[in-house]
Homo-oligomer: A and B are copies of this chain.
Amino acid sequence: MYIWVMDTRDKILDLGEELIRTRGYHAFSFKDISVPLGMKNAAVHYHFPSKSNLGLAIIDRTNDRFLSEIHQWSSLSKEKQLANFLKIYSRSYRQNKVCFMGALGPAYDTLPANMQEGLQKASHEIRSWLTGLLKDGLSEGVFEFTEKPGEKADLIISALLAGLIMGRVTGEPVVLSIIKNLKKQV
């Protein structure tokens, strides 16, 4: 019984995540979730009272998954960890999704406060993790770059984030060539 509950809740979160990352927060409705899942709008509201509530749950779940992923990577080499990080974006490209910051950042000021907070927190996690990785890799001598680690992290995240967006507009696999070039720049 309990498992069944979690199952439809998770299905809503899965679909909601896809919708945010392919269409954006303001361009999807409860109907876009309820109809494909064969249920009524009110059933979605049962699990998530409000849209912002759902939005925040999606952000938090993704952030939690990221945190557990990087934790699992912690014993790997810095190069391997960076390669894994880059792989997140090539996978996103194949799934025709942009990342959360790319999807929600442009309309940040229009988001409900709880989602703004969640997104800010998630962006902080990613930036500080990558900054630490680059800093450690630099002192270990496995990475080589002249920028400050924090600025290098922003440069990398930015290029990846926007590579996904540009890929959508241009129809070209922009992020893949960006990943290729970023690897040469560390």
Interface residue? A15 (CB, 8 A): no
Number of chain copies forming the complex? 2
Interface flags for A147-186 (1: CB within 8 Å of B; 0: not) read 1000110110111111101101111001001101100100
Interface residue? A22 (CB, 8 A): yes
Q: In the complex the two chains form, is A168's CB within 8 Å of B108's CB?
A: yes
Whole-angstrom distance from the CB of A174 to the nearest CB of chain B?
Answer: 5
Q: In the complex the two chains form, is B165's CB within 8 Å of A177's CB?
A: no
Stretch at the interface among A23-31, A40-48, A74-82: A23-31
Interface residue? A109 (CB, 8 A): yes
Interface residue? A110 (CB, 8 A): yes
Main SS class of interface, A: helix
Q: Given contacts A26-B24, A26-B27, is CB(A120)–CB(B169) below 8 Å?
A: yes
Could you tell me the distance between the alpha carbons of A109 and B119 in the complex, rounded to whole angstroms? 23
Q: In the complex the two chains form, is B27's CB within 8 Å of A110's CB?
A: yes
Q: Which residues of B contact A106 (CB under 8 A)?
A: 24, 98, 102-103, 106, 165, 168
Could you tell me the distance between the alpha carbons of A168 and B110 in the complex, rounded to whole angstroms? 12
Interface residue? A39 (CB, 8 A): no
Could you tell me the distance between the alpha carbons of A26 and B106 in the complex, rounded to whole angstroms? 11
Could you tell me the distance between the alpha carbons of A139 and B123 in the complex, rounded to whole angstroms? 39
Across the interface, name the chain B residue whose C-beta is closest to A177.
Answer: B151
Q: Given contacts A27-B110, A107-B23, is CB(A166)–CB(B174) below 8 Å?
A: no
29 cross-chain CB contacts under 8 A: A24-B106, A24-B110, A26-B26, A26-B27, A27-B110, A98-B105, A98-B106, A101-B162, A101-B166, A101-B169, A102-B106, A105-B166, A105-B169, A108-B165, A109-B168, A120-B170, A147-B181, A151-B180, A154-B174, A155-B178, A155-B181, A157-B166, A158-B158, A158-B160, A158-B166, A158-B174, A161-B162, A161-B166, A162-B162
